[in-house]
Copies of this chain bind each other. A is one copy, B any other.
Amino acid sequence: MDERKETTNATGWVDGETKVLEAPGDHGAELRLWLRLLTCSTLIETEVRRRLREEFDSTLPRFDLMAQLERASEGMVLGEVSKRMMVSPGNITVLVERLAESGHISRTTSPTDRRVQIIALTPFGRAEFEKMASAHADWIADLFGGLAPKDGAVLLDELAKLKRSIVASLGKGS
């Protein structure tokens, strides 16, 4: 990419290594961590989006939706897709419209409940998805390739702990 310093688009603290703003409670360590986490996932996500667009003329949301459908051979209800993708129902409506238009998914109204829409990959959609998924796995493997297996294992473990911390913190609020 380029030689740009570490920056972020979600905290605003430039160069987390050396210049994190000192908050009253001195939350510098957490901010630095968050910044670095965000930098990594932004870099990866941006690259994945770019390649999906350039190599498959597709987008990440489309890919994600198809991925949800991939192992649901009987199809899936819109609400379930919405929950799994953690996005709003209205969002799914739009995505589904486009994917149906392009022939990647089929759409039927449930015979037992006319409120319910069931979507499923078409054979064409499945074939397209498989191509994308295979390439996607390679891209990710490449991006993580410089990480020693041991580091990968440690990172996976630490991220599990972080996730528990996040979920616990979110839980308190509700």
- Which residues of A come within 8 Å of B, CB atoms? 1, 4, 6-14, 19, 21, 23-25, 27, 29-34, 36-48, 60-61, 63-68, 70-71, 83-87, 133-134, 136-138, 140-149, 151-152, 154-156, 158-171, 174
Bound: A24/B33 CA distance, A: 34
A136-B11, A156-B36 known; A42-B86 Cβ under 8 A: yes
Interface core residue of A47, A68, A140 (most chain B CB under 10 Å):
A140
Overall SS of chain A's interface:
helix
Determine if A41 and B48 form an interchain contact, defined as CB atoms under 8 angstroms apart. Answer: no
A53 to chain B, nearest CB (A): 14
